[in-house]
Amino acid sequence: MISMRFFSMRAFLLITLIFLISWPFKNVMSAVSDDLLINGSYYKKITTMQDLIADILPPPCYIIESYLVVMQILDEMDKRGGADQNRIKSLLEYGKNLENGPEGYLARLKFWSDELKDFENIKDLLVNKAAAPAKEFYKVRDGAWAEAVNAGKREVANKIARTELKKFYEEHRKIVDQIVAMANKEQASLEKVAQEKAASGKKDEIVIKGALYKKIMNLKDVVNDILPPPKYIIELYLVSLMVIDELEIGNKEKANEWFEYGKKLIEGSGGYNERQEYWLKTLAGQSGEEAKIKDLMCKQSTDAATNFFTTYKGNFATAIKDLNLVQARITARKDLKNAYESHRKVIDELVVLATKTYKNIENEVAAKLK
């Protein structure tokens, strides 16, 4: 399971954002240094840390982790020799927290319902259209599906997951994809406006803390809340379990389709390897804590992820090709799971250090704005 530090990190980012936006306005904008403007050096530092965190944090406004927990519970129930009831109970409780916790789905949904007044089109997609199937997902999960799990009725739980839960998850996901594309387009447009204002000398309108800055940060935070993190292999782990599930019901074509999608998460555009190259370049020449961040981001977490990839494209791929469900399960429960959990531990450490670094940048900005 993901550490609660992920949720406290979200809260910290929100507090930081509010702090920067609400800093007392000074009537000396003509003297503001260029490094405090949108697209200036501090803006780039802030957005770099935001992008780094977005690449490793599971998104609370996209129910991918909730669906992963469902698949983990079903896999646990299938184990020969009996399921670990304590683990199932723990996963059920964690899944509920992903929905109802202080930084869970419903809390973030309420936040964006109040915060996205400047972007009504994105707001409608996020808090209405994407939320509708997500709420149905949770209604079924917490009702009939949870009852089947608690009664030890795996076949019933499996049927509900494969029909209702899967359907609602996929409907939700399609809308999430639309939101990401729309938010990225809006953000690029606003950054272009900032460049034009800088060229015309209107620094008071593009300083870090102003209205335009708030709009850009809101859009970035929306994407952070819904985009699957490419440098944290949570989606790939979910895909591996979905491949096995499709194979179990004899859907060879769908199993292969999901397996190939998993390979794209590693090798495709915007996938793990591409983001790895990006961060190797972006974090080059760093020292101190920044160098430690690079080590955690580009080496330690990557070593564990690489072990996962090797198994996924090796023994796991062979088992899927041979339609060997038993071997596929053994590989997923041992090698893939161990690699995923080792990777996650490093991600936990990385989040803590990134939080500290983000705060240091915020303090520098605050000192310069005095």
**What number does CATH give the domain 230-362?**
1.20.120
The pLDDT of residue 355 is: 77
The pLDDT of residue 36 is: 58
More confident residue, 187 or 349: 349
The pLDDT of residue 34 is: 62
Name the residue ranges covered by the structural domains of the chain.
1-9+32-228, 230-362
Condensed to tens digits (0 to 9), the pLDDT of residues 239-282 reads 999 999 999 999 999 999 999 999 999 999 989 999 999 899 88
Smallest CA-to-CA distance from 63 within 197, 189, 226 is with 226
More confident residue, 198 or 281: 281
The pLDDT of residue 192 is: 79
CB 32 within 8 A of CB 203: yes
133 Cβ contact list (under 8 Å, min separation 6): 167, 168, 169, 171, 172, 175
Cα gap 293→191, rounded to integer Å: 27
Mean pLDDT of the chain: 83
Encoded tokens for 277: 């190259």
361 Cβ contact list (under 8 Å, min separation 6): 42, 45, 46, 49
Condensed to tens digits (0 to 9), the pLDDT of residues 155-166 reads 999 999 999 999
Condensed to tens digits (0 to 9), the pLDDT of residues 316-331 reads 999 999 999 999 999 9
* Residue corresponding to tokens 């074509």: 253
The three-class DSSP label of residue 207 is: strand
The pLDDT of residue 86 is: 92
Write down the pTM of the prediction.
0.79
More confident residue, 55 or 318: 318
pLDDT of residue 25 exceeding 50: no
DSSP bridge pairs for 207: 37
Question: Would you give the DSSP letter of residue 150?
Answer: H
Cα gap 164→249, rounded to integer Å: 16
